[in-house]
Amino acid sequence: MKVIRTIDEMRAHSAGERGAGRRIAFVPTMGALHDGHISLMREGKGRAETLIASIYVNPAQFGPGEDLERYPRSLEEDLAKCEGVGADAVFVPDDGMIYPDGFTTGVRVGGLTERLCGASRPGHFDGVTTVVAKLFNIVRPDIAVFGEKDYQQLVVIRRMVADLDMPVEIVGAPTVREADGLAMSSRNDYLSPDQREAATSLYRSLNVAQKTIDAGETDPATIMGRVRETIEKGGIMKIDYAELVSPDTLEGLSEFRRPSLIALAAYAGETRLIDNRFFG
């Protein structure tokens, strides 16, 4: 497995793969890899002849006061995990090459990025779309895999790719969970034992929503009331948002229908966790 540390070397590697007729799957990550990331890489590997991952903690997608400094970094373990899953190359750029002096361009998806996490984290998705556009232009993958756990990010990236005619197929891969249902996240490392226990209420609340919907309930206020109740019961989690939305526009629904999405964000102490369920 190649560890690639410059843009030129990354371009050359990709060009070589393409020239040899191999389709490239790409999985961009911020490192601190867990089984969720590994499943994205397996998905990529199953769909293309070569797998490229990237590890880059993108400062542009962190807001002031967010956890950029303490975001977990574990490059050696991350590289071992990439090698374990059979990645062919891992791109590890640094800030100076991604945002050199004079950098001033942004890619922005309107509308979608102002809702849900976008409302709580202004500028976050602009940072995501800009760095993903850059990485796509450097790696030039045929397909790129993103987790459904970050559902809004997946929708925003699909929109960017469609709107800018980027020649990349975007694949969404299912959320990977701990044994007790907590969605895997690099930020789970921040949780104290009490918070870790309380955090499972996100998953449980989605199961409560599922049961309520399966029983025929269609009123969003009722469905989301039970979701909120389940999360708030332990007294530890503070809800940022809990919404029933259209999975395409991310706009709130006045009545449950299919497809729809329940999207949640809540704080355990300082740690912000998200989860969602798709009803197709």
Q: Catalytic residue positions?
A: 37
Q: Say whether residue 6 binds a second copy (CB under 8 A).
A: no
**Residue (78 or 142) nearer to a second copy, CB:** 142
Among 37, 81, 140, 149, contact with a second copy (rule: CB under 8 A)? 140
Q: Smallest distance, Å, CB 277 to a second copy?
A: 24
DSSP-derived pairing of the beta strands 260-268 and 271-279: antiparallel
Let me know: does 189 contact 149? Beta carbons within 8 Å. no
| Cα gap 37→50, rounded to integer Å | 17
| Cα gap 32→44, rounded to integer Å | 19
Q: Say whether residue 166 binds a second copy (CB under 8 A).
A: yes
Among 16, 84, 86, 106, contact with a second copy (rule: CB under 8 A)? 106
Q: Say whether residue 103 binds a second copy (CB under 8 A).
A: yes
The packing angle between helices 7-19 and 124-139, to 10°, is: 50
Name every residue whose Cβ is closer than 8 Å to that of residue 128 and which is 6 or more positions away in sequence: 58, 61, 153, 156, 157
Q: Smallest distance, Å, CB 272 to a second copy?
A: 25
Among 1, 3, 11, 208, contact with a second copy (rule: CB under 8 A)? 11
Amino acid in the structure at residue 11: R
Q: Smallest distance, Å, CB 216 to a second copy?
A: 32
Residues within the interface to a second copy (CB under 8 A): 7, 11, 102-112, 129-130, 133-134, 137-138, 140, 159-160, 163-167
